[in-house]
């Protein structure tokens, strides 16, 4: 999947800062794995266009999104 030229690194750090990956947000490696799981298993993030269209939802989750727990 190609996420186009938008700033994926800033998005990743922002998702970590709001703990969008739950407990996995604190460890960069675990957060990276959670992001990779998100883009490979959630159809709302299956393409670059869908990723950028839907990423705001992760910021809106009050308790973060928990993957693999």
Q: Is residue 32 one of the residues assigned to a domain?
A: yes
Q: Is residue 66 one of the residues assigned to a domain?
A: no
Give the pLDDT score at 54: 83
Q: Is residue 44 one of the residues assigned to a domain?
A: yes
Q: What is the DSSP string of 22-67?
A: GGGGGSHHHHHHHHHHHHHH-GGGSSHHHHHHHTHHHHH-TT----
Q: Is residue 67 one of the residues assigned to a domain?
A: no
Q: Is residue 65 one of the residues assigned to a domain?
A: no
Domain count, the chain: 1
Q: Is residue 69 one of the residues assigned to a domain?
A: no
- 11: helix, coil or strand? helix
Give the pLDDT score at 58: 72
Tell me the average pLDDT across 14-24.
86
Q: Is residue 33 one of the residues assigned to a domain?
A: yes
Q: What is the pTM of this model?
A: 0.70
């Amino acid at each position: 999947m190609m996420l186009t030229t938008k700033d994926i690194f800033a998005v990743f750090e922002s998702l970590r800062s709001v703990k969008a990956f739950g407990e996995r947000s604190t460890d960069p490696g675990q957060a990276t794995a959670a992001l990779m799981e998100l883009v490979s298993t959630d159809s709302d993030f299956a393409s670059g266009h869908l990723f950028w269209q839907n990423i705001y939802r992760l910021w809106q989750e009050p308790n973060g999104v928990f993957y693999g727990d």
